[in-house]
Amino acid sequence: MFKKLNILDEKDKRLRQISEEVTFPISKEYKQLIQRAIDHLTYSQIEEYEKKYDLRPGMGLAFPQLGINKRIIIIVDEVDDGIFENYVMINPKIVSNSVEMIAAEAGEGCLSVNREVEGHVLRYARVTVEGFDEDGNKIKVRARENLSIAFQHEIDHLNGILFYDRIDKKKKFYSDNEIRLI
């Protein structure tokens, strides 16, 4: 039985805290919450379920958005129509990044921000992220383009940063000549 997650709104001060490292083994409750987040994010990207359960589409979620001050992120990436790849990373760290910067042409959104925010968020086009899986095994992900943006967005949540904090107040938008928009 699917049960919608209770995602904090941007006004909640808990979203501005720096999250604590996770120690292993992780609890059964955390593992269940990770699975619920995967289900929520997957359903939110499938139109039929999005409507049925009144979900806002999203591909990523960080534990602080659920009111839990721990360094856990979940990303559900639709790699093909109806085919998803799940990324669960505990204590993630960006260990390398490209020089090239990109921005999502339509701007970024967030499940904790229930309003339109205009502006481009500059992100690295490619990142390598290291962390741990649910069982405490070391993992490494090389992410490009949209997946790279998602990892950076979710890791920002762990550091109390919301995407709109990164929009340049003096220059909200960039042209194709200035930055590669995807």
Point out the residues that are catalytic: 154
- Provide the strand spans (E) within the chain: 60-62, 72-80, 83-97, 101-103, 123-124, 126-132, 138-144, 180-181
Question: Is the Cβ–Cβ distance between 66 and 76 less than 8 Å?
Answer: no
Both tokens assigned to 14: 């808990």
Sequence-distant (6+) residues with CB within 8 A of 117 are 107, 108, 109, 163, 164, 167
